[in-house]
Amino acid sequence: MCVNRSETCKNLKGGYIVSEYHEDNLPEETKEYHRMIQSVTEELEAVDWYNQRAAVTNDPSVKAITEHNRDEEIEHACMGLEWLRRNNPVWDQMMREFLFTQGDITALEEGQGEEEDLGSDNTNGPSDGSLGINSLKNK
């Protein structure tokens, strides 16, 4: 793993210089995609570190600060995921299939309900795909 964002960096285990990329002469679009994958990975690692720190501290102030920092890193990771979704149709498709759903996640992967409309199982809102805001106005 690299310690900086340059194209070459020092490998911490082997002590040698390696390229950040697996292939030479990558198009800029592929480099940007890689940068975002790395950024999301780093943000998720930070979420885990802050979460662990918050879990073990006995100081309420330290807990509050580390939980706040963890939540900021979650925000950053979500921003990166959204960039990936907007810039890659497979990310978009998979997020639409798996995120904000109910029930067994592995059943979704196995193709159960693959052809269903959003909200058609009526487990999480109206079957018309709306957020149900209109029904709140009528009450």
Question: What is the residue extent of each domain of the chain?
Answer: 24-101
Give the range with max mean pLDDT: 5-14, 40-49, 97-106: 40-49
Q: What is the mean pLDDT of residues 69-86?
A: 98
Please check whether residue 101 is in contact with residue 114, taking contact to mean a CB–CB distance below 8 angstroms. Answer: no
Residue 79 has pLDDT above 60, yes or no: yes
| Number of residues assigned to the chain | 139
Q: Which two tokens stand for residue 125?
A: 């809102």
**What share of the chain has pLDDT > 70, as a percent?**
66
CA–CA separation, 17 and 10 (whole Å): 5
pLDDT given at position 15? 58
Identify the burial level of 43 via C-beta atoms within 10 angstroms of its C-beta, where 0-12 means exposed, 13-18 middle and 19 or more buried.
buried
Residue 114 has pLDDT above 90, yes or no: no
